[in-house]
Amino acid sequence: MKIIMLGAPGAGKGTQAKKIAEKYGVPHISTGDIFRANIKAGTELGMKAKGYMDQGLLVPDEVTIGMLLDRIHQDDCEKGYVLDGFPRTIPQAESLTKALAEMGEAIDFAIDVDVPDENIISRMSGRRACLKCGATYHTQFAPPAKEGVCDVCGSELVLRDDDKPETVKNRLKVYHEQTQPLIDYYKEKGVLHTVDGTQTMEAVFQSITEILGA
């Protein structure tokens, strides 16, 4: 089962991708998480990505595509995966389609988590992230048991630099210009499904499981 999550930054892609991964037993692959892990570890890839991420811009396709294709060729991806944050440009989608076609495969579901821009800024300013294990919380909608502390690993929770309102505005602009066209790309391939992302997290997940099947 190969799934792509589409939607604006903060729409809830990561939240839902984690639940899908758990229920269907496939890896959750977030390009944003991979970049953040590389930044934390001080790798060359992380240094390349950081400047773009801090400004709310996309990391160039030359860096991102190879990294993602390497990841989906690993053994744990044999039964499928849920991609969160990739593809974000038409060239990324085309590279993925081509790489899969070479193996006689294709994406099964592209799920667009639809949330209007008005809701995004408040979603993002309340998001708290654990940079150690990747868990995500929301001060209002999904608070941790103890304020500022990750339930999973006990590390400190932070407001990501790129979740500050001025950067979120840039990210939304980039989303509309470069990523939203992917909705039509996957519609034409007959695999697009749209869910109303303004519902509660549980209701969004229920809509997704109805699409994916038990």
The residue among 9 and 12 lying less far from ligand AMP, judged by its C-beta, is 9
Residue nearest to ligand AMP (CB): 32
Q: Which of residues 95-134 bind ligand ADP (CB under 6 A)?
A: 123, 126-127
- What residue type is 145 in one-letter code? A
Pure H helices in 1-149: 13-24, 31-41, 44-54, 61-72, 90-101, 117-126
Token pair 């001060």 is found at 139
Name the segment binding ligand ADP (CB under 6 A); options: 3-11, 19-27, 33-41, 60-68: 3-11
Q: Which two tokens stand for residue 143?
A: 């608070």
Q: From CA 141, how far away is CA 33, in angstroms rounded?
A: 21
Among ligand ADP, ligand AMP, none, the one that 58 touches (CB under a kind-dependent 5 to 8 A) is: ligand AMP
Asked if 141 touches ligand ADP (CB under 6 A), the answer is yes
Question: CB of residue 24 vs ligand ADP: minimum separation in angstroms?
Answer: 17
Q: From CA 14, how far away is CA 110, in angstroms rounded?
A: 14
> Residue 179 gets which letter from DSSP?
I
Question: CB of residue 14 vs ligand ADP: minimum separation in angstroms?
Answer: 3
Asked if 134 touches ligand AMP (CB under 6 A), the answer is no
Annotation marks residue 123 as catalytic: no
Asked if 171 touches ligand AMP (CB under 6 A), the answer is yes
Beta bridge partner(s), residue 196: 114
Q: Where in the sequence numbering do the catalytic residues fall?
A: 13, 88, 127, 160, 171
